[in-house]
Amino acid sequence: MQNCLERILIVDDQSVIRFALKTALQTCGDYDLVEAKDGCEAKDLINEKDFELIFCDLNMPNESGIDVLQHLAERAHTHPIVMISGEGEPLLNACSLLAKQFNLNILGVAEKPIQRQTIATFLSAAEETLNRDNRRSIPKLSEKDVELAINEHRVVAYFQPQIELRENTIHCVEVLARLKTHNNNTLLPASFIPVAESNPELINKLTKSVILDALEKFQRLKERHPTILISINLSASMMDDQSFPMWLSQTCFTHNVKAGDVTCELTETAICNHPALLTASILRLSLLKFNLSIDDFGTGYASMQQLHALPFQELKIDKSFVKDCMTNLKSKAVIEQTIKLAKALNMTVVAEGVENEAVAHYLQQLHCDVAQGYYYAPPLSIRALLFSDSANMHWPEG
């Protein structure tokens, strides 16, 4: 992944905390680390330089973290921020509220004493956000660019862990496509999936190529973690190809992956606009023993009848509701009702877009089955996934 995270600001009045953070950051990469001992000093530094990531203590004598946040909001600062909190400080709710009101990008809270693992997770999340922001200005690719990238094997599978919430173990990985440019930038699907989707042949080729890459890498993952499952995204137009379910079945067979270990995600919008062909494909996949999941639930308008009639085992609550559920009552209601609905229909419910501990705990209390989001891990290359280590999740034993 392109590394656009260079300069980091550490704001804390305790020199021992600044030292611990600095040491942890130095073991994670080669960053330009700048320190400030209070809010006043931090504000001066922010006026002088651009920081791609800021670690900021809330509780400081000479101008607090709130003053720093306010200053950043006034400057319309968009880069990620991590708050530092003393043990037991009930800051999370206030932080997400502040983030929303100030329109700041607060990744989460690092609890003192600061662990290297926590720092590493925040760094990955920050890099992912920065890469995304960078790509926003990148022009969309043409069909030709996408085709060339597929032919040159530059469209690759990344994996984001899904966490089973009772045990806090990784039970599944979702495959998310990434496109590597010639100068080794990593582009997000927004740059190439919509282009590919405008041409049925191209999205077909892209989907198959991502699945092939994902299954090869998944075999390596399974050697280490035999119980792990895999989830793939299917565009609506893929469902017009009635030979696709059989292709998927055969491809899984040749990669030693059981259909029962594979979930196919289809967006709620795709399901709602379903022509007969889509229903036929859904049934074919189901007969071949693949699991089916409704993605981005809450953004479409699936009826109870559809939920009943189609053989879906899983429902994924859209991240727009999960992201702000601690501060937005509407989102809270959507989440609570969706979990109830899923339970009543005997479906597994997955919440995506979990970005902090408060949301993770809230979902656990509601008995949500599975969670996914930057709080646990961003989408990772297979290499990063194999070595991933986070305080918030662990691999299943055996």
Instruction: Indicate the residue among 233 and 348 with the shorter CB distance to Ca ion.
Output: 233
Give me the residue whose beta carbon is nearest to ligand C2E: 373
Peptide bond preceding 113 in cis form (omega within 30 of 0): yes
Instruction: Indicate the residue among 20 and 156 with the shorter CB distance to Ca ion.
Output: 156
Instruction: Indicate the residue among 295 and 314 with the shorter CB distance to Ca ion.
Output: 295
Decide: is 314 part of the binding site for Ca ion (CB under 5 A).
no
Instruction: Indicate the residue among 35 and 297 with the shorter CB distance to ligand C2E.
Output: 297
Candidate ranges 99-107, 181-189, 218-226, 290-298; the one touching Ca ion (CB under 5 A): 290-298
Q: List, in order, residues 6 or more apart from 150 with CB less than 8 Å away.
A: 205, 206, 209
Of ligand C2E, Ca ion, none, which one does residue 298 interact with (CB within 5 to 8 Å by kind)? none
Of Ca ion, ligand C2E, none, which one does residue 355 interact with (CB within 5 to 8 Å by kind)? ligand C2E
Task: Kindly identify the residues of this chain, within the stretch 248-287, that bind Ca ion according to CB under 5 A.
Answer: 265
Alpha helices (H) along 29-168: 39-48, 65-74, 92-102, 116-136, 143-151
Assess contact for 218 and 225: CB atoms under 8 A. no
* DSSP three-state, residue 53: strand
Count of alpha carbons within 13 angstroms of residue 308, beta-carbon side: 4
Instruction: Indicate the residue among 60 and 248 with the shorter CB distance to ligand C2E.
Output: 248
Q: What's the min distance (Å) between Cβ of 32 and ligand C2E?
A: 27
Assess contact for 285 and 243: CB atoms under 8 A. no
Using CB under 5 A, pick the residue from 35, 296, 355, 369 that binds Ca ion.
296
Structure-block tokens of residue 354: 């979990």
Of ligand C2E, Ca ion, none, which one does residue 108 interact with (CB within 5 to 8 Å by kind)? none
Nearest alpha-carbon partner for 353 in 160, 198, 185: 160
Of ligand C2E, Ca ion, none, which one does residue 245 interact with (CB within 5 to 8 Å by kind)? none
C-alpha distance from residue 231 to each of 167, 180, 237, 367 (Å): 20, 22, 18, 21
Nearest alpha-carbon partner for 56 in 3, 48, 41, 47: 41
Instruction: Return the exposure string of 115-130: e unless at least 16 CB atoms fall within 10 Å of the residue's CB, then b.
Output: ebebbbbbbbbbbbbb
Q: What mask of x and - would describe binding to Ca ion in positions 74 to 113, judged by CB under 5 A?
A: ----------------------------------------
Of Ca ion, ligand C2E, none, which one does residue 173 interact with (CB within 5 to 8 Å by kind)? none
Instruction: Indicate the residue among 147 and 265 with the shorter CB distance to Ca ion.
Output: 265
Structure-block tokens of residue 397: 């034993």
Q: Tell the residue number behind the tokens 């990772």, with chain if given.
A: 380
Nearest alpha-carbon partner for 359 in 321, 303, 395, 387: 321
User: Could you list the residues that contact ligand C2E (CB under 6 A)?
Assistant: 160, 176-177, 188-190, 193, 207, 210, 233-235, 295-296, 319, 352-355, 372-374, 379
Nearest alpha-carbon partner for 293 in 266, 331, 255, 333: 266
Instruction: Indicate the residue among 228 and 236 with the shorter CB distance to ligand C2E.
Output: 236
Q: What's the min distance (Å) between Cβ of 125 and ligand C2E?
A: 8
Using CB under 5 A, pick the residue from 233, 235, 331, 356 that binds Ca ion.
233
Structure-block tokens of residue 51: 């920081």
Of ligand C2E, Ca ion, none, which one does residue 91 interact with (CB within 5 to 8 Å by kind)? none
Q: What's the min distance (Å) between Cβ of 267 and Ca ion?
A: 7
Q: What's the min distance (Å) between Cβ of 314 and ligand C2E?
A: 13
Instruction: Indicate the residue among 72 and 310 with the shorter CB distance to Ca ion.
Output: 310
Using CB under 5 A, pick the residue from 127, 145, 295, 314 that binds Ca ion.
295
Nearest alpha-carbon partner for 63 in 34, 88, 43: 43
